Structure 1
Amino acid sequence: MAWQSPISPGISWYEASVDDRPEYPPLEGSTQTDVVIIGGGFTGLQAAYTLALAGVDVRLIEAHRLGDGGSGRNGGQLGTGQRWWPEEVEEEIGLERSRALFKMGEAAKAHLFDFTARENIDMDYQPGHMIVAHKARMEKDFRANAEIAAERYDYPHLHFMDKQETAQKVGSNRFHFGVRDAGTGHVHPMKLLVGLGKAAARAGAKVHEMTGASAITSEGGKVRVQTPRGTITAGKALIATNSYIGNLEPVTAAHVMPIGSFIGATPPLDDFPGVIPGGESVCDSRFVVRYFRKSKDNRLLFGGREIYSSEKPDDITTHIRRQITEIYPELKDVKLTHGWGGYVGITLPRQPFVREVMPHVTSIGGYSGHGVMLSNYCGKLYADMISGKATDLELYRSFNVPPFPGGAKFRAPLLFLALTWFSMLDRL
C-alpha cells in the first residue's frame, strides 16, 4: 500500500468543526491526462488548481478523503521564512542564498493570503506567533534573532520578549524568554484544505478520492500510475504524498521519513482568560517541539507527543494532558474533547525534498513541520514549472538532501534512536 493510515483513529477537532466537506468520486477505469498528481494534500491540490487555471488537463488521486493526511490534521502554524532561523545556515550556504530562501518563505506566505482572498476561503486566520525558550542558555541566540531578521533580512516584525513579557503573553511562567513574530499567524488547516479542494475542482482539475496509487512507472516518455480500478497515463507526474509515501517510490521513501505527531483539543477556555490572552500560536525551543495555540472559539489546541515509528499508541490524551499541565497547572482538571494524530514528513537537514525521481516524475515533500505555507507554494511552483515559467523551486532542487542512513530495513530504527536521544537532551 502506498498510504499509511492516520495514527489516530479519532476524529480531529478540525474535522468536527468543518460543516461542508465535499466528497469526490473515485476513479473508475483507465484514462489519460497531461499531468497526474498523487496525493490530495496542500502540495497536490495547489498544483492541480494552478495547472487547471493554466488550461492543463490534470487529474489528482487521493487514497482516502481529502484532509485525512497531514494537511488536514496539523498544528496550523504558518511560521516565517524556512524551517530554521536564517542565521543558523548562513555559514553553510552564504548570506545571499540564505536571503533568497527567506524571501521565498515570505513569498509563500503572501501567496497563501492572496490565494485564500481570491477564492474567498475563510481559514480562521489569527495573527501572531511566539517562539519560547525552555533553556536559559539560549538567550543570546534569541536576542540576536530579532536583530538579524531586521538588519540582514529586512524583516522588522520580530520582537524579543524577556521572562516577564513572555509569561504575560503565554500565560505561563514555564519559559525563560521568547521572540514574538507579528508578521505571521495560524490557521484552521482543514478549512484551508477543504476550500483548496473546492477551488481546484472549480478550476477544472479532476479530483478523485478513495483512489490509491499502487505502482508508478515511466518509460517511452509516458508515466503510468496504477490504481485499483485502472491505469492513468500521463506526460508528467507529481508525487505529493509527503510522509505517506509507503513503498510506492523508493527514492522519496529514502529521503522523507514519517514522524507521528499528536494534538489534543480542550473545551472553550472561557474561564481561563490568561492562557495566551493575545491569541497567538506558540512553539518552544525543544528539538522535539511542543506547539500550541487558541482556536477562534477559545479552545487550546496542544501538540506535543511524537513517535518515530508506525505504531499506534493506545492512549493519546493522557500524555498530552500531562504536557499541558506542565505549562498550565490551572488546566489540570480540564478534559480533552478531541485527540488525534498524523504524520509529519521530515528530511535529514529539515529542508524540503524536491527531485525528479524518474523521468518526468517529480517528488516534493519533507517540509519538516513548516508545511502549511511552503507546501501550498511548492505546489504552485511545480505548476508554474510545468507551464514553462522560471520558479524558486530550483532553490530547493539545489539543496543536498541526503537519504536517511540504514537502507529500507534500518532507517526507521536509526531515526528512532537519534530522535529519542534528542528528546532526552531536551529534558536535561
Structure 2
Amino acid sequence: MAYPPSYYAATANDAPPPAPLQGDITADVCIVGAGYTGLSAALHLAERGYRVVVLEAERIGWGASGRNGGQLGIGQRKDQRSLEERLGRDWAHRLWELGVESNALVKELIARHNIQCDLKPGLLHAAWKKGDAEWFRSEVDHMASEYGYTAMRYVPREEMREMVATDCYHGGILDEDGAHLHPLNYALGLARAARAAGVVIHEESRVTEISRTDPALVKTAKGTVKASHVILACNAYLGMLEPRVAGMIMPINNFILATEPLGDDARKLIRDDVCIQDTKFVIDYYRLSADGRLLFGGGESYSPNLPKDLAAFVRKPMLRVVPQLENRRIDYAWSGAVAITLKRMPHFGRLEPNIVFAHGYSGQGINIATLGGKLVAEAVAGQAERFDIMAKLKTPRFPGGTWLRYPGLVAGMVFYAMKDRLP
C-alpha cells in the first residue's frame, strides 16, 4: 500500500515492504500504532529486553507522524504561565522538565541512530497581533527568571521583517532549541532503530478487538497477538477501537502545501532557515525544505470532509503572508488528521492494569509523542512516576461524546477564527 501523496512521501527514505500479521503469535508487549508514540515505546521497551510486536493498520508514520509540519518545539502545548495558573508552580515545573527532555530526546535519538531527516535548528514564534508581541516580551523574561531558560530571545518587529519577508508580524520569539525536520523520515528512522533492537513491526494489520484479559488478546483480520501488556498509540486514528477514551480526543484535519523549489529566493524568504509558527488560533506554520521549497500549513476547515482543491485551499493563507509567491508553482498539497483535547494537553492513562495509552498531543506531537512513548515504556516496566505526572492531567470528554462532538467544535472554531481576523 502506497503512502498518501505528499512531499514527504515523495522524498521518503527507503522502507521495507509491509509484512502483515499472519497467524497467532505471543509477545511481552503489543503496541497498536506505528507513529512516534508507538515506535518510541517499542524502541525503549526493546532496549529493556522486552519482546515487542507493533501492529499498524496502514504503514509506518501513516498518520500525523508522517504528514505534519515538521516543527520540533520544546515544552508542552500550553505555555508555562497558563500551566502555572491552572496546575500550580510545582506541577508546571515538572511538566516543563519533561518538555525540555522531550526536545532533547528527539535530537538524541536522531544522533544515536543516525536518522537522516534533515534536522535544522531554530523555531520562530511570530506575533500576529500587537498584544501578542507584548506578551512575547514578558514571556522571555518569565522563562529566564522562573525556569532559567535562556535559549529564547525577543525579536522586535523591525528584525522580524529582516528574518521573514513579510509585514504581517509585530514581533516574535526565536527559540534556538526549537528545530524542524522531515517527519516521515524521522518516523522511518525510529522504525529502523526499533527493528534493529529486535522489535517486530506488522504493517497493514488493523486491530479489530482487544480483550480485557491478562494476558490480553489483540486481534486482526488474519492473526492474533497474545501479550502481557498492550499500548494504545493510535492518536487521531483510534476510531471506535476503544470507546472509553475516544470521546476525550477530537480528530481534526490539517492542510499543507509544498511549492516548487525556490532557488536563491528561498533564503530571501526565511533568512536563517528557521521554522515559523504564528499566534493565531488557526495557526499558519511554515519552513523551508531541504531542497528549498516552502512548506506551508494553514487554512481552516470545520468539516470532516476535505476541500476539493487542497492546493488552492492552503494557497490562500500562504499568499496572505507571502504574496510575493503568487506566481510560484504548487507541487504538492496534502492533509492529515491530528488529535486535539479540550485543554490542549495530552491524554495519558490506563484502561486496565495491563492496557495503557497516550494520545491527544494537539499539535505538539513530534517531541511530546516521542517522550510519551518513553514514558509509556517506563510505566509498562513498573516505573510509572513520570508517566503519572502526565496521567494526572484531567482530560474532559468533548461535549456530545464520540458521535456528537463535531457541532461543538465547529462553533468554537468559528468563534476563534473570527477573533483571528480582529485587530
The separation in 2 between residues aligned to 1:267 and 1:95, in whole angstroms, is 47
Q: Determine which of 402, 405, 412 is the counterpart of 1:411.
A: 405
Contact 1:70 1:343 in 2 (8 A): yes
2:241 maps to: 248
TM superposition shift of 1:43 = 0.4
**Residue aligned with 1:368, SS:** coil
Q: Determine which of 263, 267, 272 is the counterpart of 1:270.
A: 263
Report matched runs for 1:138-153 at 5 Å.
138-153=132-147
Report matched runs for 1:134-173 at 5 Å.
134-173=128-167
The separation in 2 between residues aligned to 1:286 and 1:367, in whole angstroms, is 18
Question: 1:133 is matched by which residue type in structure 2?
Answer: A
After TM superposition, the score normalised by the length of structure 1 is 0.95
The separation in 2 between residues aligned to 1:269 and 1:323, in whole angstroms, is 18
Corresponding position: 1:374 with 2:368: yes
Q: Determine which of 226, 241, 260 is the counterpart of 2:219.
A: 226
Report matched runs for 1:81-120 at 5 Å.
81-120=75-114
Contact 1:218 1:359 in 2 (8 A): no
1:214 maps to: 208
More divergent stretch after superposition (259-268 vs 15-24): 15-24
TM superposition shift of 1:132 = 0.7
Q: Determine which of 283, 288, 295 is the counterpart of 1:294.
A: 288
**Residue aligned with 1:337, SS:** strand
Contact 2:36 2:61 in 1 (8 A): no
Question: 2:220 is matched by which residue type in structure 1?
Answer: T
The separation in 1 between residues aligned to 2:205 and 2:305, in whole angstroms, is 24
The separation in 2 between residues aligned to 1:252 and 1:14, in whole angstroms, is 30
The separation in 2 between residues aligned to 1:187 and 1:149, in whole angstroms, is 25
1:235 maps to: 228
Cα 1:391/1:299, change in 2 over 3 Å: farther
Report matched runs for 1:70-89 at 5 Å.
70-89=64-83
The separation in 2 between residues aligned to 1:309 and 1:251, in whole angstroms, is 24
Contact 1:26 1:209 in 2 (8 A): yes
TM superposition shift of 1:408 = 2.7
Question: 2:310 is matched by which residue type in structure 1?
Answer: I
Give CA deviations for 1:150-192 in whole Å, capped at 9, x if unaligned.
1111110111111111111111111111111112211111111
Q: Determine which of 123, 127, 138 is the counterpart of 1:129.
A: 123
**Residue aligned with 2:404, SS:** helix
**Residue aligned with 2:143, SS:** helix
Question: 1:286 is matched by which residue type in structure 2?
Answer: K
Give CA deviations for 1:24-52 in whole Å, capped at 9, x if unaligned.
31000122211111001010011111111
| RMSD, aligned CA | 1.6
The separation in 2 between residues aligned to 1:237 and 1:306, in whole angstroms, is 35
Question: 2:211 is matched by which residue type in structure 1?
Answer: T
Question: 2:127 is matched by which residue type in structure 1?
Answer: A
The separation in 2 between residues aligned to 1:261 and 1:146, in whole angstroms, is 29
Report matched runs for 1:336-355 at 5 Å.
336-355=330-349
The separation in 2 between residues aligned to 1:163 and 1:116, in whole angstroms, is 34
TM superposition shift of 1:407 = 2.0
Q: Percent identity?
A: 36
Cα 1:377/1:55, change in 2 over 3 Å: same
The separation in 1 between residues aligned to 2:132 and 2:191, in whole angstroms, is 42
Unaligned segments of structure 2, at least 5 residues: none
TM superposition shift of 1:80 = 1.4
Equivalent pairs counted in the alignment come to: 421
After TM superposition, the score normalised by the length of structure 2 is 0.96
Q: Determine which of 45, 68, 72 is the counterpart of 1:51.
A: 45
The separation in 2 between residues aligned to 1:125 and 1:26, in whole angstroms, is 31
More divergent stretch after superposition (199-208 vs 82-91): 82-91
TM superposition shift of 1:399 = 0.6
**Residue aligned with 1:232, SS:** strand
